[in-house]
């Protein structure tokens, strides 16, 4: 099978598009690399090499000794596992020779990020943080205070994310709101140990996915991606703690370091 | 016998409270609806398994490592069965074990060292919580990566 120059360019574009989607929706680097290479090879390239950096990917395809290189910027579009699943499914179908380049491109362009119903997410996150308060040994009062605080913080987080605010501002604001509400619980002495609610209600802001991705990227040899993700999640945690400290200073309650 | 029953009740309660955060965070990560049930099962299994290990006196880092390695193998099985990348199940399932509270305590300690000056107690809080976060988190991710590190070694899983 010999590909023309145009076909090779098209193949490279399709492969880099798949990689870009994976990168934007929070896949780990190994998955981005493998999926992009597999799509490129299945569409007929002799070799596909790519370099992943935190905000862009560069890909080179090799066909009959000719190289085509292209770069795509990857802006973070939020973690979305459904997009990752769909790209993976397309990759498997290409490998089984069920799709050609044109069809793959059409399918990739048709993908739309699926979002769960936002009020359902708010409810579940409220109960999640309330469950954490149970793990920390809180009683029923702490459970419900955490539920209210975490739900309101989640609503704020969704609203700010919807308006494309900076994630650091967003997380600090959400932590501020959650801590204000739980501090009121501490002032009115809700239950045996209201400080537990303060600790549990901000756990919806833990950047868990980037942290796990950071360590597994570094384990699998993508050190620079791992460091970038690690620094990003550390900065998020710092902005959350600034929001918490601001709220505690404002209300005059201390719940963490004593 | 009574002791065993008590432990069993604690184990079941732990599993019950662990599936909720797993599903909640899976929804934040937009895991497809059909896969949420797997995240719930994984979250409940891993967290309650870690609870058992902690109960028998295993240090929290090792308990986390063993529990998440189990989740890694379970995720391997599910991902090959449903042709879906592993992080879709595994990351949401281990979210209940993430040391978020330790991480925030360490960061708040840093902020307070800045405002109220250096003291040995604050520094102790920062170091202990920070190191615990680091080690638990590394154990968690390393455990999840065990199947692809030991068995697949660079080959694609799906």
Instruction: Give the per-residue pLDDT at B3.
Output: 85
The answer to whether residues A103 and A139 belong to one domain is: no
Chain B (135-154) residues lying within 8 Å, Cβ to Cβ, of chain A: 137-138, 140-142, 144-145, 148-149
User: Is residue A256 situated within a structural domain?
Assistant: no
The answer to whether residues A28 and A92 belong to one domain is: yes
Spans in chain A with pLDDT lower than 50: none
CA nearest to B28 within chain A: A121
Mean pLDDT by 10 residues, chain B (158 residues): 88 92 93 92 94 93 94 92 89 91 91 90 93 94 90 80
The answer to whether residues A139 and A232 belong to one domain is: yes
Residues of chain A in contact with residue B149, where contact means CB-CB under 8 angstroms, are 219-220
- Rounded-to-integer distance, Cα A17 and Cα A14, Å: 5
Of the candidates A60, A85, A110, which is a domain's last residue? A110
Instruction: Give the per-residue pLDDT at A1.
Output: 58
3-state secondary structure of A167: helix
Instruction: Give the per-residue pLDDT at B155.
Output: 81
Instruction: Give the per-residue pLDDT at A257.
Output: 65
Domain that holds residue A130: 118-251
The answer to whether residues A59 and A165 belong to one domain is: no
| B28/A242 CB distance under 8 A | no
Note whether A237 contacts B: Cβ–Cβ < 8 A: yes
Q: Is the dihedral of CA B73, B75, B76, B80 positive or negative?
A: positive
Tally A–B CB contacts below 8 A: 162
The answer to whether residues A104 and A130 belong to one domain is: no
- To test the contact with chain A by mutation, choose from B27, B95, B129 the residue with the greatest count of A C-beta atoms within 10 A, namely B27
Question: Nearest CB to B104: which of A88, A219, A240?
Answer: A240
The answer to whether residues A123 and A149 belong to one domain is: yes
User: Is residue A82 situated within a structural domain?
Assistant: yes
| B83/A89 CB distance under 8 A | yes
Of the candidates A110, A127, A145, which is a domain's last residue? A110
pLDDT digits (tens, 9 = 90+) for A126-158: 999 999 999 998 888 889 999 999 999 999 999
Instruction: Give the per-residue pLDDT at A143.
Output: 92
pLDDT digits (tens, 9 = 90+) for A24-62: 998 999 999 999 999 999 998 999 999 999 999 999 999
Distance (Å) from the alpha carbon of A239 to chain B's nearest alpha carbon: 9
The answer to whether residues A103 and A164 belong to one domain is: no
The answer to whether residues A86 and A37 belong to one domain is: yes
Give the residue extent of every domain in chain B: 2-152
Q: What is the Rg, in whole angstroms, of the alpha carbon atoms belonging to chain A?
A: 23
Number of domains chain A is built from: 2
Q: Is the Cβ–Cβ distance between A126 and A147 less than 8 Å?
A: yes
The answer to whether residues A90 and A166 belong to one domain is: no
| B110/A237 CB distance under 8 A | no
Chain A (19-48) residues lying within 8 Å, Cβ to Cβ, of chain B: 26-28, 30-31, 34, 38
| A27/B87 CB distance under 8 A | yes
CA angle A27, B67, A116 (to 5 degrees): 40
Q: Running DSSP on this structure, what letter comes out for residue A206?
A: -
3-state secondary structure of B57: coil
| B30/A81 CB distance under 8 A | yes
User: Is residue A258 situated within a structural domain?
Assistant: no
The answer to whether residues A225 and A139 belong to one domain is: yes
User: Is residue A144 situated within a structural domain?
Assistant: yes
The answer to whether residues A246 and A122 belong to one domain is: yes
Residues of chain A in contact with residue B117, where contact means CB-CB under 8 angstroms, are none
The answer to whether residues A43 and A126 belong to one domain is: no
Instruction: Give the per-residue pLDDT at A98.
Output: 86
């Amino acid at each position: 099978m010999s590909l023309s120059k145009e076909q090779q360019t098209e193949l490279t574009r399709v492969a880099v598009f798949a990689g870009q989607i994976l990168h934007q929706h929070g896949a780990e680097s190994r998955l981005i690399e493998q999926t992009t290479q597999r799509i490129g090879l299945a569409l007929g390239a002799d070799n596909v090499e790519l370099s992943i950096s935190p905000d862009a990917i560069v890909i080179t395809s090799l066909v009959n000794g000719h190289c085509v290189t292209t770069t795509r910027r990857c802006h973070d579009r939020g973690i979305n596992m459904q997009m990752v699943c769909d790209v993976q499914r397309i990759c498997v179908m290409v490998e089984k020779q069920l799709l050609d380049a044109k069809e793959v491109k059409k399918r990739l362009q048709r993908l739309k990020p699926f979002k769960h119903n936002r009020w359902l997410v708010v409810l579940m996150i409220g109960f999640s943080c309330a469950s954490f308060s149970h793990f920390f040994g809180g009683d029923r009062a702490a459970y419900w205070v955490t539920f209210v605080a975490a739900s309101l913080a989640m609503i704020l987080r969704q609203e700010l994310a919807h308006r494309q605010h900076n994630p650091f501002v967003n997380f600090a604001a959400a932590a501020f709101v959650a801590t204000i509400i739980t501090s009121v619980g501490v002032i009115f002495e809700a239950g045996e140990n209201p400080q537990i609610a303060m600790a549990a209600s901000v756990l919806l802001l833990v950047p868990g996915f980037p942290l796990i991705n950071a360590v597994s990227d570094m384990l699998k040899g993508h050190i620079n991606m791992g460091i970038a993700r690690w620094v990003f999640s550390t900065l998020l945690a710092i902005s959350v703690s600034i929001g918490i400290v601001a709220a505690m200073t404002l209300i005059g309650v201390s719940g963490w370091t004593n | 016998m009574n002791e065993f029953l008590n432990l069993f009740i604690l184990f079941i309660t732990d599993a019950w409270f662990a599936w909720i955060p797993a599903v909640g965070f899976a929804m934040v990560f937009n895991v497809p609806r059909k896969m949420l049930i797997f995240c719930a099962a994984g979250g409940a299994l891993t967290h309650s398994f870690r609870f058992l290990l902690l109960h028998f006196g295993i240090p929290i880092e090792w308990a986390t490592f063993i529990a998440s390695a189990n989740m890694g193998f379970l995720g391997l099985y599910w991902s090959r069965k449903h042709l879906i990348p592993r992080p879709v199940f595994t990351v949401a399932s281990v979210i209940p074990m993430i040391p978020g509270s330790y991480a925030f305590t360490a960061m708040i300690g840093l902020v307070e060292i800045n405002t109220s000056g250096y003291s040995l107690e604050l520094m102790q809080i920062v170091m202990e919580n920070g190191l615990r976060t680091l080690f638990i988190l590394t154990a968690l991710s390393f455990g999840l990566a065990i199947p692809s590190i030991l068995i697949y070694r660079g080959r694609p899983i799906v």
